Amino acid sequence: MAPAIDRAFIGAMHAARDNGGHALVLAYGGRAAGTLIELRNPLAAGRTVGHEITDGPYRYQNPDEVMHSLQHSAEQGLLTRNRDGRFAATEHGSAFLNDLYAHHSAVLAERWEEGHSAQLKRLIPLTGRVMKAAGDTGGQGWAVFAPPHEPAGSTPGTILLNRLSTLRAHRADAHAAAWQEAGLTVGEILAMEPGPDRDAIEDDTNTRAGVPYESLTPDERLTLLADLAALP
């Protein structure tokens, strides 16, 4: 599942960036706005984020640099830092996120919905069932991103995009659990070369990440793969 999800998600995000997304980010301050893109689901839903992101979705990055990026976005008026040190979107930040969701909707209406409506009609309920099952095994990254923000009126394209994003966080958590179970640190897993030890971690990752897909029948899993592969 992972390669199929990655291909569809990354392709869609690149299309959004190259067809007006970059200009949208620049209009809201460049890098300060860009920080909000990956955290769009919790922030757009009104949730706050804090140091837990350095142990979850940003576990491979320098924690000080991660928090500095959030602080920079706050200084530019897109985020506010609460008394407990957690960040939330300001009115200006929420305006950016609303514009971002609208932009994703427009791009994906052309990229996915035109000519692939049958696939989307199947993918939405299938990913919904996988998402529900993933809540039982998700880790710290999942806790940050789930549930994806799906306000009333969300288009099929944006719903699928953000579900795929959240499922990628589930797999990242599975990978972290696998190398932690092997007694490795972040530095050690980043430096590990290909070989039997790495293969064992990847196999364990696949086993852990695959659990939510057991909520689907074998035929449904094949449908999910085929429909993802049909998307441009």
179-223 pLDDT per residue, tens: 999 999 999 999 999 999 999 999 999 999 999 999 999 999 999
Residue-level pLDDT at 190:
96
Residue 121 CB neighbour total at 10 angstroms: 11
The predicted model gives 100-123 an average pLDDT of: 96
Closest listed residue to residue 12, CA positions, set 166, 151, 164, 221? 164
Closest listed residue to residue 138, CA positions, set 187, 180, 188, 175? 175
**Which pLDDT band holds residue 161 (cuts at 50, 70, 90)?**
very high
- Predicted TM-score of the model (pTM): 0.95
The predicted model gives 144-156 an average pLDDT of: 95
The predicted model gives 148-157 an average pLDDT of: 95
Q: Are 166 and 131 a contacting pair, CB within 8 Å?
A: yes
Closest listed residue to residue 48, CA positions, set 61, 56, 39? 39
**How many whole angstroms from its chain centre is CA 7?**
13
